[in-house]
A and B are shown apart, each in its own frame.
Chain A
Amino acid sequence: MVPLPSKDHYAFGFHKPETYVYKSKKGLDMSVERDISYQKLEPVWMRDIRGKAYDIFFSKKMPSWGVSLHDLSFDDMYYYIKPVESQVSKWKKLPKDIKDTYDRIGIPEMEKKFLSGVSAQYESEVVYKSVQKTLSAKGVIFADMDTALREYPELVRAYFGKIVPSSDNKFAALNTSVWSGGSFIYVPKNVRIELPLQAYFRINAANMGQFERTLIIADEGSFVHYVEGCTAPIYSTDSLHSAVVEIFVKKGARVRYTTVQNWSTNVYNLVTKRARVEEEGIMEWVDGNLGSKITMKYPSVYLVGAKAHGEVLSIAYAGHGQTQDAGGKAIHLAPETTSQIISKSIARNGGRTSYRGMVKMIHGIGKSKSKVVCDALLIDDMSRSDTYPTMDIQEASAISEHEASVSKINDDQLFYLTSRGIDQQQATSMIVNGFIEPIVKELPLEYAVELNRLIELQMEGSVG
């Protein structure tokens, strides 16, 4: 194992001077929301949606459950920053300091590895995008949301806000009213995209809220794997990240959505992710939460067609001052639907992890099956772990299972490893990596490597 720098060293904790063409004023009022729409020259219907969501946002109360969000101030944030004049399609044309930032995360290497299209988000908008020709030849649309709204308004209009309406929750309303950036993917019938599509993004301005809006439509019999990874520089004031992701899985299609989130530890990460799965469709969420101050994220699958399948795999790591409130939801609305939620969490150095989940099976859906497993590892006495699952079963022929466990690192395992000459720290790190292995092996290689290294880094100095 490679020795790593000290435990408090945050690998991506740097930031570059801000360069932007347009920046909205601080805080949110009617004019900010209008400004965003005007700056982007959006169609009238989108302006209407933003306007309505704006009202809903103010009429809704903060969630009364879960993590306390009283430190969050909506008035201290910038809601829209437009980074450079227009989008660039060539890597070379990117401004130097933006390119520098990406170099440090390692985007160019990724390109060399022929990963499908890199669409990187810097500040509020996608500034760099290189969709391979093969993708467009197959009729696949992979664009940022703003471009999609301009070029395919009807397609966007038909699906936008249909699974996550703005009245769903306060943060969905906020996102709908001030969204900018995010990805749009349309995969035509029976098209399979073998390489994962990726978008890298990163918050760079202090107090900047990022409100991406992602929409994925997988038409009948298609397949797509979308990967989203975030690293953010450290700032002294709080930033808010509140994205909305909507995914439509049509008959027999399969979508996998992978996220590795490593925001710096002052970011509020409050995300609404939901997928609607039709007949024989498969939806898989793979979700890694390592950074942020507070994360509240419960990827959901709505199984609306017969034999649909939904899966949520989630890892959470909470270090000092962090709260990871993650989990998953599976709503069974059709016969013979199946779902599986696997959650692993690690709390260390005063961190707090929670699993919060929901399995619902409505009456009359016949034989359906659901399984939930959540395991938590507590490294020391300062940390805390909670499990809050709910299973609402209204169908007598349905089968639901749930199991959860909370434990510390097994003394026997530690003894076994140390007796073979491995020092205690390395042994601990090995056990933790083994604990999260079932989920890490589902990640694309680069992410698995990155995640393993991050866990190792976090485990430095955790013993003694």
Chain B
Amino acid sequence: MGDNMEKIVRLIEKNIYKEEFVVSKDKEMTIVFVCTGNNQDVDITIRLHGNGSRVWIYGLAMGSPKSKIFIHTSQIHESPYTVSNLLIKSVVPEAATFHFQGNILVTKKAKRADAYQKNQNILLKENAKAETSPQLEIENSDVKCSHGATTMPIPEDEIWYMKTRGISDISARKLFIEGFVDDILSNIPDRQRKEIQI
């Protein structure tokens, strides 16, 4: 990793958690956070303060049954040529609720900003709930900005595919979830990854 790059990993256990990151000129930051608690309210703000600053944000919520997790993120582009990329994933078990609210704000000064936001949720049991509101507020025309959000059950055709290859239903589901969360967890260094159980 070069001098300009920084990787920050947070395993969040606290119920209420708030943190702000400021990325300075030409710096590149990767933020990975995993919510491990049951009743959590997590608020992450990223300010792209310096020219050409870049950030990658990866977040994962894996609640237990009946858990309630709220993730709130803000990507604030304050300077020109800034890049932000956000990916939040959640696996929502029985009777649990997941709530995501993500904001992208591109200010007038942030010319040529490039912002992306993606939220994907898997609902495991019938009474799982996910509410997602990704929001864009764009005050500058010279930008590239988009977001996407999906909420769905484990796709049965993928499970079926694995089952036809002799994998049992339960391990097929486990494999699917492992693959789903790997997009986030693969960004965490191995020694820290051991601490996370899925």
Partner-B contacts on A (CB < 8 A) = 363-364, 376, 378-381, 383-408
Contact = CB atoms under 8 A, between A and B. Distances in A.
A397 B141 contact: no
Contact of A403 (B130, B138, B142, B147): B147
Nearest to B145: A406
B138 A393 contact: no
Interface string B87-131: 000000000000000000000100000000000010111111111
A407 B128 contact: no
B128 to A, nearest CB: 5
Contacts of A379: 141
A396 B128 contact: yes
- Give the secondary structure class of A's interface: strand
A388 B142 CA distance: 20
A401 B134 CA distance: 12
A192 B136 CA distance: 42
Interface residues of B, number: 33
B34 to A, nearest CB: 22
Contact of A376 (B108, B132, B138, B153): B138
A401 B136 contact: no
Contacts of A405: 145-147
A338 to B, nearest CB: 14
Interface in B143-184: 143-153
A364 B147 CA distance: 28
Nearest to B124: A396
A396 B127 contact: yes
Given A381-B141, A396-B124, A404 B134 contact: yes
Contacts of A391: 130-133, 149, 151
Contacts of B143: 378, 406-408
10 contacts: A380-B141, A389-B134, A390-B132, A391-B151, A396-B124, A398-B151, A399-B152, A400-B149, A405-B146, A406-B143
A402 B148 contact: yes
Contacts of A397: 123, 126, 153
A386 B131 contact: no
A401 B135 contact: no
B133 A363 contact: no
B137 interface: yes
Given A390-B131, A402-B148, A402-B149, 5 more contacts: A395-B123, A396-B124, A397-B126, A404-B147, A407-B145
B187 interface: no
Nearest to B123: A396
B153 A404 contact: no
Nearest to A348: B141
B130 A404 contact: no
B118 to A, nearest CB: 9
B151 A403 contact: no
The 7 closest A-B pairs by CB, nearest first: A405-B146, A378-B141, A396-B123, A387-B136, A402-B149, A403-B148, A390-B133
Given A404-B148, A405-B146, A408-B141, A396 B134 contact: no
Nearest to A380: B141
A213 B132 CA distance: 34
A398 B135 contact: no
B140 interface: yes
A393 B147 contact: no
A355 to B, nearest CB: 9
Given A403-B148, A406-B145, A408-B142, A396 B126 contact: yes
Contact of A385 (B131, B136, B152): B136
Nearest to A409: B141
A387 B144 CA distance: 14
A403 to B, nearest CB: 4
B129 A394 contact: yes
A404 B145 CA distance: 8
Contacts of B127: 363, 394, 396
B131 A396 contact: no
B6 interface: no
Nearest to A411: B142
A381 B108 contact: yes
B62 to A, nearest CB: 16
Contacts of A408: 141-143
A406 B143 CA distance: 8
B13 interface: no
Nearest to A363: B127
B139 interface: yes
Contacts of B147: 387, 402-405
Contacts of B139: 384
Point out which of A398, A405, A406 has the most chain B C-beta atoms below 10 A from its C-beta: A406
B92 to A, nearest CB: 8
A393 B146 contact: no
